A = this chain, B = another copy of it.
């Protein structure tokens, strides 16, 4: 009744990496999807800030560590199969996407093709300086 998988994400399922969806706690907008491993999940719980695992860089990704646009975690939810995580967050800086859009899902697929529908909050060139 209190085995590990029933009380926490089942990281064995995704070869150690599970999808984590970040949703704006205030507006309900889906902001982004990234991955977490057990270490990033534990750090998220401990710090109250979203920490992912970057598959391209193969290391912990403390969201906002470079841009300052951290995500303060308001709630953590687990799906029925315990293999997907949902975070409700307060997005500091207003934008979750590295392109400067509020949400990474700023493009809609329509019969006429792809349309930009999101709101750009910052200019990436100003935020990510070399």
Contact = CB atoms under 8 A, between A and B. Distances in A.
Interface of A: 6-8, 19, 21, 23, 27-30, 32-33, 45, 75-81, 84, 86, 97-99, 101, 104-109, 113-114, 117
B32 A79 contact: yes
A109 B76 contact: yes
A97 to B, nearest CB: 5
Contact of A108 (B32, B77, B84, B98): B77
Contacts of A98: 80
B7 A19 contact: no
A23 B113 CA distance: 21
Contacts of A33: 19, 21, 33, 79, 84
Given A19-B19, A19-B33, A21-B30, A114 B79 contact: no
